[in-house]
Amino acid sequence: MRVGAVLLIVLSVVSCLSSPLVAQQSTTPFTSLERDRAIQMLQTIAGDVRKHYYDPKFHGIDWDARVREAKEKIEKSTSQNAALSHVAGALAALDDSHTFFLPPSRPYVHDYGIQFEMFGDHCFVIRVRPGSDAAAKGIKPGDEVLSINGITPSRDNMWQIDYVFHTLRPVLTLTLNLKSPDENQRQVEAAAKFRELLRLRDLSGSGGDNIWEIFRASEDARHRQRIRFAEVGDDLLIVKFPIFNASETEIGSLVAKARRYHGVVLDMRENPGGLVDTVKYLLQGMFDHEIKVPDRVGRKDTKPMIEHFHPHNPYTGQLLVLIDSKSASGAEIFARMVQLEKRGSVLGDHSSGSVMESLHYGYQAGMGVTVFYGASITEADVIMSDGKSLEHAGVMPDELVLPTGVDLANGRDPVLARAAQLLGTKLVPEDAGKLFPYEWPPEK
């Protein structure tokens, strides 16, 4: 089933939920002003899609008809949530991992205190925030997730489930059907933690501390996204690479450090991608010759994704790259380049298949009280040196290594342990699982 169709099914299931939040929001009057604003959002984004989307034929979709259909649904909507879902649904019809709606921020933040991930064809709980309702209800890493609010998770729909419940249409409670590592099945309701925000914020820096809260949150996120290192013996360096947002200087420091070791593991599991420049810096630091870089195929032309590729004093030792179902975009491009150029091996799980080049478009609506929203719109497909796109295909690792529910329950990391073994270093899964402790963001 295609991505767009899956998202529309997820949205329809959420619309039928008897969640207190959905019920509460549906009783709030939906004004004509809010309806008109949703239509304005749809038409503004649709206009930029017409002008900038990389495929002027929209994959065979009648884009104007799709927008008219979404407009008609908004006109019949009885809540703001439903109206905004139709904006998201219009973009979902393009079946594109990098084209999606970013709805206006809500007057609250929420946290379910639980994280999921697909391993192979099975979804597992990977983390539970201490002190959360999920933790109090006995949900633990290693529990297999059979359904989330009536939706069976799969590799096709996991990111849509996350998008709907975290961004588009949050709910007060997640109803989870779980199977523990001992095969015991149970149903658990985990309540989200909600905190109301100020409806109006002073961003001037002179009349309040709202802007400093934003700065602090940004600094905290940057800290948690930093590159981390672990040295195992004298010959192995393990690099936790959580996102592609590092500068040329930071990548230069990574490469200089790597040159002291016989083997390097680049752990790109859960890496969602990021900046093209960071991909360039890392490729130049890991390849000792010019390579055929991917092409970006845009609406009007085709050109190399990376201009002026010049390796400079790169790391030339043994290289392994780790990926999983959450590895996307830049992480997938780098891993596939390692395979195509026979630079090293890739271990872990099949990656997400979310590889396009997009731009973020920010908008605002309203006078007096301004509503900010946005969209990500794909401006180019990325074609690898073998002539293939990774979109919807992903990267298949050279060696498939998947943790089990028992591994997750006991904090073991068999993937990293296997990588160390292949590079001639002994590292047991129990110790591998302790190298990079997860850092929860501050309580919302």
| Residue pLDDT, tens place only, 232-246 | 999 999 999 999 999
Lowest mean pLDDT among 28-32, 69-73, 121-125: 28-32
Cα-based distances in Å from 304 to 3, 76, 202, 278, 381: 27, 46, 43, 15, 11
Q: Give the angle subtended at the CA of 140 by the CAs of 323 and 97, to the nearest 5°.
A: 35
- Quote the tokens at residue 30: 């939906």
* Residue from 410, 437, 439 nearest 180 by CA: 410
Q: Model's pTM, two decimal places?
A: 0.90
Q: According to the model, what pLDDT value does residue 13 have? A: 46
* Residue from 404, 437, 405, 399 nearest 421 by CA: 399
Q: pLDDT tens digits, residue range 193-212?
A: 988 765 545 444 555 555 45
Cβ burial 160-189 (10 Å sphere, 16+ → b, else e): bbbbbbeebbbbbbbbbbbbbbeeeeeebe
- Region of 168 please: left (phi>0), alpha (psi -120 to 50) or beta: alpha
Residue type, 174: L
- Quote the tokens at residue 41: 């959002």
Q: pLDDT tens digits, residue range 373-419?
A: 999 999 999 999 999 999 999 999 999 999 999 999 999 999 999 99
C-beta of residue 344 within 8 angstroms of C-beta of residue 422? no
Element (H, E) at 7: helix 3-15
- Quote the tokens at residue 126: 């990977």
C-beta of residue 391 within 8 angstroms of C-beta of residue 353? yes
Candidate CATH numbers 3.40.190.10, 3.40.50.2300, 3.30.420.40, 3.90.226.10; the one for domain 220-356+380-400: 3.90.226.10
Q: Judge whether residue 25 has pLDDT over 50.
A: no
Q: According to the model, what pLDDT value does residue 203 have? A: 46
The more confidently predicted of residues 44 and 444 is 44
The more confidently predicted of residues 97 and 203 is 97
Mean pLDDT of 86-108: 92
Phi, psi dihedrals of residue 410, rounded to the nearest 5°: -105, 10
C-beta of residue 329 within 8 angstroms of C-beta of residue 418? no
Residue type, 271: N
Q: Judge whether residue 142 has pLDDT over 50.
A: yes
Q: According to the model, what pLDDT value does residue 7 have? A: 53
Where along the chain do the CATH 3.90.226.10 domains lie?
220-356+380-400
Residues 6+ apart with CB under 8 A from 125: 114, 115, 116, 139, 140, 141, 142, 143, 144, 145, 178, 408
